Chain A
Amino acid sequence: MTRPRFSTLFALGWVLVAALLAAAAVLLDVTARPPSGKTVVTVRLWDQQVAKAYRLSFAAFTRTHPDIEVQTDVVSYSTYFNTLRTDVAGGTADDIFWLSNAYLAGYADSGRLIDVGATFGPDIASTWEPSVVQQFTRDGRLWAVPQLTDAGIALYYNADLLAAAGVDPAALTTLRWNPGGDDTLRPLLARLTVDGDGRSAGTPGFDPNRIRRWAYNAANDAQGIYLNYIGSAGGVFQDGDRFAFDNPAAVEAFTYLVKLIDDDHVAPPASDTNENGDFSRNEFLAGKMALFQSGTYNLAAIAGQANFHWGVTMMPAGPKGRVSVTNGIAAAGNSASPHPQAVGQVLAWMGSTEGNQYLGRQGSAIPAVTAAQKAYFDHWLSKGVDVKPFFNVLKGPRIAAPGGTGFAAGNQAIKPYFDEMFLGRSDIATTLHRAQEAANAAARG
């Protein structure tokens, strides 16, 4: 037989290389998750701290269910809902994933979620925090297992800064904001804002370009700030799935907030806070902000990192009292999961007192299973922190957390308008009107 032609050898070599590469691809595919003989259920969420609590919880679960292994998959919040959507749509999402109220509609309506009410029976909902159950009920059906509730919004204060300004923390509970008179918030905030020369806001010679200490975190922050202001003025943000913030009460609320930022200079400029959701919190933690209105989602960070005396009190009341927003997070089951039974068992564990209480133990979040909340209260009690303001504020009326179909698109449409508005560069009423139109148009798709 003659020696094989070079070209034949080359062709064979090419095929060999191609086969090797293909084998490498298959190898990479197979080694992605080491097989352990168990059923693996994956849980996706965005909070690193809570993931740690889950790992402990799931370790306990595996002790009683040795054939099921549960793994957590943390995805950064900034890309969480973008990637979740493409993954769920592509059928490659985790078996269980966190949802917030804002994003429930699309998934529920397209049948991507396990019907929790149908799977576990109607009684189970009564063991969970009612506001969260309500948020995740759509068309009369419950679509996810409540995991965390944020409770309401309250006011963190830096006790050292208040003392230096001669303000008694007890006075904070009487704070009122009211554009029509009888307003005690603005004068106090002015007293607490100090520039580089030690002058407080509103006094002659005060230099708003060299502020050393802010008083408050008024900003384009839906959950911490403006939703509560809208509610406390008697307005609404949405009406069902529709954006409805173009109303006189909301105009009043936003006008007040923008004045605080751009006229009184008691809060950081919107150019700092519009693009960075953590800016105000970081200023507060650095001791450069006296009052910080926020929720329990920042409690662990503040408790862990604040090196000054601090406390929590009720947020300022508005013309119609104190109306807070509350938000919850729930774990939804992927209806396309290849192992629905295992998923059902894990979900049941996550919605049970034993499983859910791990989340409250480190005090980083409030369990949504009512019986498991005790761990949370105990934790903070032992640290001498009174968390009651976050809960007391919910005893009054509430403003609904935003959501609904097309919320993602609507929210994106709002952003440029609200950013401009908070920069003090546009007329509030016109902007709200235009923003609402744009949001509803975008939400309709």
Chain B
Amino acid sequence: MTAKRRSTALGYALIAPSLFGVVTFLLLPILVVVWLSLHRWDLLGPIEYVGGRNWRSVLTDKTFGNSLLVTLTFVAIVVPVQTALGLAVGALLARDLPGSGLFRTIYVLPWISVPLAIAVLWRWILAPTDGAVSTVLGHRIEWLTDPGLALPVVSAVVVWTNVGYVALFFLAGILAIPAEIHSAARIDGATSWQRFRRITLPMLRPTMFFVLVTGVISAAQVFDTVYALTGGGPQNRTDLVAHRIYAEAFGSAAIGRASVMAVVLFVILVTITLVQHLYFRRRISYDLT
């Protein structure tokens, strides 16, 4: 066997397990979900072909439209807030004062914890009867069942979970800025705020890009938190898309419609990723190595 053929055979042999996994459990499902979107199935009966009916029905469905809107609002609240707070905390940690290590550990704890369990924990904290917050305030507030409060509260819980994690990325980014640049600026008389604005922030662009893109993608897929905190309510005010797909598939037993929603979500996420990639790629030209 020539060296090249050996290398080829070896290469394929080594990637075989992961290739099998990727094709079977990531690519094939995409095809299947598109196929399912053209059928009607309630899990119990047979799968019947219905053509475009699910598509027409879902794309004109008020509940689905509401779900997309809720998701958009949610992402628009969560991502900027967690990025800003993460940046602030990261900058504070970058001062590297004694004890920063301990703070770092503390801030990451929510992210390490199981999202479903965190949601259940907050369910108690926010419970109007016997909850921690009600007891402290001495006053009942329907944090999770008031239509106006539910989505902001759920967003706050998600931000609370993510700030530490985001902060670590910014911390790494800030620490990677060569000290000489800052010293040179200081010698030139720049104040710390000016240095932050003119040096730190611009050099954090790659990190910012990463944090924003991954933030949007993961915020758009939040499920566990909604399931345990509000179940999508009140009145579908916290019915994020991932939850809507679940409710449609396993609550209403409308697998075909749920598949349509899944395809729409997929297209939206891919579009966002590509757009952000193209937009930011032009603006990132620093090579710090």
Contacts and interface: CB of A to CB of B under 8 A. Distances in A.
Please tell me whether chains A and B touch each other in their complex, using a CB distance cut-off of 8 A. Answer: yes
Interface of A: 82, 85-86, 88-89, 106-107, 109-110, 112, 271-272, 274-276, 406, 408-409, 412-413, 415-416, 419-420, 423, 438, 441-442, 445
Contact of B234 (A86, A275, A409): A275
A413 B63 contact: yes
A445 B58 CA distance: 10
Contacts of B42: 85, 106, 406, 445
Contacts of B44: 85, 88-89, 106-107, 109-110, 112
Contacts of B142: 271-272
A332 to B, nearest CB: 12
A412 B250 contact: no
A339 to B, nearest CB: 22
Contact of B247 (A112, A274, A412, A423): A412
A276 B57 CA distance: 30
Interface of B: 40, 42-46, 57, 62-63, 66, 142, 145-147, 233-236, 247, 250-254, 256-257
Which of B43, B147, B236, B252 has most A Cβ within 10 Å? Answer: B252
B250 A271 contact: no
B145 A445 contact: no
B57 A441 contact: yes
Contacts of B40: 445
Contacts of A420: 235
Given A85-B44, A106-B42, A271 B252 contact: no
B236 A445 contact: no
A143 to B, nearest CB: 13
Contacts of B46: 110
A86 B256 contact: no
Given A88-B44, A89-B44, A109-B45, A416 B236 contact: yes
B145 A271 contact: yes
A272 B145 CA distance: 8
A271 B146 contact: yes
B226 to A, nearest CB: 14
Nearest to B255: A445
A109 B253 CA distance: 14
A79 B44 CA distance: 17
Given A412-B252, A419-B235, A438 B62 contact: yes
A409 B45 contact: no
Nearest to B148: A271
Contacts of B251: 82, 408, 412
Closest 10 CB pairs of A and B: A409-B252, A89-B43, A110-B45, A110-B44, A419-B235, A275-B145, A412-B252, A106-B44, A416-B235, A416-B236
Which of A89, A109, A275 has most B Cβ within 10 Å? Answer: A275
B235 A442 contact: no
Nearest to B256: A445
Which of B40, B233, B253 has most A Cβ within 10 Å? Answer: B253
A406 B254 CA distance: 9
Given A275-B145, A276-B145, A416-B236, A85 B256 contact: no
A392 to B, nearest CB: 36
A409 B250 CA distance: 10
B43 A274 contact: no
B246 to A, nearest CB: 9
A366 to B, nearest CB: 29
A419 B247 CA distance: 18
10 contacts: A106-B45, A106-B253, A107-B44, A271-B145, A275-B233, A409-B252, A409-B253, A413-B63, A416-B66, A420-B235
Contacts of B66: 416
A106 B44 CA distance: 7
A412 B253 CA distance: 11
Contact of A408 (B235, B236, B252): B252
Given A107-B44, A408-B253, A271 B234 contact: yes
A12 to B, nearest CB: 19
A420 to B, nearest CB: 6
Given A109-B45, A438-B62, A85 B235 contact: no
A107 to B, nearest CB: 6
Given A271-B146, A445-B42, A409 B235 contact: no
Nearest to B128: A272
B9 to A, nearest CB: 18
Contacts of B256: 445
Contacts of A85: 42-44, 250, 253
A106 B253 CA distance: 10
Nearest to A434: B62
A415 B253 CA distance: 16
A274 B142 CA distance: 12
A271 B63 CA distance: 20
Contacts of B145: 271-272, 274-276
A274 B252 contact: no
